[in-house]
Amino acid sequence: MSALNNKNLIYGGAAGLAIVLAGGYFYASAKGVEAFEDFLYDKDLTDAIRYDDASYSPLSDSIALKGVDLNIVVMEFGDQQQRITGRLDRVKIAGARDENRKLISFSGYELVTDPDPTRIQENMLYQMLAEPLKLARTLGIKETRLDGAVGYAYERDDEKLTLTVELDAENLARNAIELRLQRTRPLFEIDPEKQIQAAIFAPQQLLAEFGRIELVGARAGLEDYGAFERMARLSALGSYNYATALNEEEVPFEAMKAGMHVGVNPQMKQQVTEGDLDEDSIKALQGFIEKGGNLEIEVETKRPVRLADLIKNDKLHRDISIEIDD
């Protein structure tokens, strides 16, 4: 056989293998989408979550949805329903087939800061975010766009759970939180709908269910997009004594700050310095409240602390140390 024929055989074999692999990949992709659609059907979510396009990647075990319309019933009271509605540009579910690990990310959810009564009634998110939206409206922000992610990693044998939440609000701030917990099996044994209802209507019952879950550590990060600085300026304007500045051509910001109550007041400072925050952390927190920027919070436990103990204590638990950096 000539060298040319050998090359043709090699190229032909490689092409054939590529076609087989591609066919298997697209078959697996189609089966992944089918399994996801079956899941929505089994959970009666076909009408609650609609999308323009769906795809599944077997390599990353992820589902990607484009143009997602939400109409999810969260709670029902007789004939009345509480819903979450709206449209997302994109949703990605990483770990689609993994029961112990998932990351659901989304982008392009739009909210107005001054919703009319109909929107408030139709979309539960406007009720839950009433205060943050009110603050955004005070800062002159008419609408915001939300991107974010929610994820968990569960070590079933050790009952350890890591929860992550990220939220990026356009014109406001970006926030990321990580919680490390243990003894978390009860979280996976109760219906999520019952969890939501208990959190709203019977928090003490929820505490009894989950109070023995233990906090091992936590981390939080906050990136300000200018909202905190605008809040400081508004507070300064509201508290500045203009009667003392009638002869000034321009009121400097530092002068306005002289009379305002921004940052950590003495009473709060006394509370948080009783073993909870060191002086550097207090300065970092106060500087962030006054000027914005970035804030990093690290929570460590000397030994695991039950959630019930955290909630019942008036001040931060003695077994927890918190460090704050700007």
Q: pLDDT, tens digit, for every residue of 120-141?
A: 888 988 988 888 888 888 888 8
pLDDT at position 257:
46
Contact status, residue 72 vs residue 46, Cβ threshold 8 Å: no
The answer to whether residue 6 sits within a structural domain is yes
Strand partners, 109: 146
Report if residue 57 sits inside a domain. Answer: yes
What is the pLDDT of the chain when averaged over all its residues?
Answer: 75
Does residue 153 form part of some domain? no
Helix and strand element counts for the chain (H, E): 11, 10
User: Which position has the higher pLDDT, 279 or 315?
Assistant: 279
Structural domain containing residue 56:
1-113
Whether the full predicted model's pTM is greater than 0.85, yes or no, is no
Report how many domains make up the chain: 1
Look up residue 130 and give its amino acid: A
Distance CA(119)–CA(218), nearest Å, equals 35
Whether the predicted pLDDT of 260 surpasses 80: no
pLDDT digits (tens, 9 = 90+) for 13-62: 444 444 444 444 444 667 778 888 888 888 888 888 899 998 888 888 88
- To the nearest 10 degrees (0 to 180), the angle between helices 130-138 and 227-239 is 70
Please indicate, yes or no, if residue 106 is contained in any of the structural domains.
Answer: yes
Q: How would residue 284 be classed by pLDDT, with cut points 50, 70 and 90?
A: confident
Burial of 191 (0-12, 13-18, 19+ CB in 10 A): exposed
Whether 297 maps to a domain, the answer reads no
Instruction: Give the model's confidence band at 169: pLDDT under 50 very low, under 70 low, under 90 confident, else very high.
Output: very high
Average pLDDT of span 85-107: 89
pLDDT at 145 over 90: yes
| Domain membership flag for residue 166 | no
Residue 146 has a pLDDT of: 93
- How large a percentage of the chain has pLDDT more than 90? 18
Average pLDDT over residues 290-319: 76
User: Is 22 part of any domain?
Assistant: yes
Q: What is the mean pLDDT of residues 91-96?
A: 87
Predicted local confidence at residue 241, as pLDDT: 56
Tell me if 323 is assigned to some domain.
no
pLDDT level of residue 324 (50, 70, 90 thresholds): confident
